[in-house]
Structure 1
Amino acid sequence: MTKPASAGCVTAATNSWVKCWRALPWSNPVPTLSLKSSDAAGETIVSPCRRQCCLDDQDICLGCGRTLQDILDWSKADQPRQRAICTAAEARLQQRNQVP
């Protein structure tokens, strides 16, 4: 079982305990945030955050698929690192959706 974050609560979801921050009723579905950064080529990388922040027992967000460390590193990460975070997060979400 995980401990709740100081601003959140603990909720049972998909047969495991997860750490969740305020889940607002008007937050479903929520578009991706507009935290953007541009590289020299003008490419914009948008944060994968969906404002559905709930961490499972492995500290992976159920909303966007990023690890807690990925979330903390996002604002300081360069473009290649942000792309890697997005790719890994998407793979985690797809893997979670395939589990029966």
Structure 2
Amino acid sequence: MKVADKVRSPCVSICALDDNDICVGCHRSGDEITRWSRMSNEERREVLQKVARRERENLI
């Protein structure tokens, strides 16, 4: 797999975990951040779906 084919990280270089262990910048959990480089594209897409849900919940 070429580098260009990999699902990109949602990192926005605002790295701080809240009380729920969720990054205030990219909305990934500490565990998701740690494991990201070892995840398959399918796993990364699943995390991005969780990220999108967390972002929506954070706006409410």
Q: TM-score, normalization: structure 2? A: 0.87
Unaligned runs of 5+ in 1: 1-35, 39-43
1:58 aligned to 2:20? yes
- Deviations 1:29-79, CA, capped at 9 Å, x for gaps: xxxxxxx562xxxxx411100101111011100111100000001000001
Larger RCO of the pair (alpha carbons < 8 Å, separation 6+):
2
**Secondary structure, aligned partner of 1:54:** coil
CA RMSD, 1 decimal: 1.3
Count matched residues. Answer: 58
Name the structure 1 match of 2:33.
71
Unaligned runs of 5+ in 2: none
Which structure shows the higher strand fraction?
1
Which of 80, 88, 95 aligns to 2:50? It is 88
Structure 2: distance between partners of 1:53 and 1:37: 24
Task: After the TM superposition, list the runs of 4 or more consecutive aligned residues in structure 1 that deviate by more than 3 angstroms.
Answer: none
Identity %: 31
| Larger gyration radius, structure 1 or structure 2 | 1
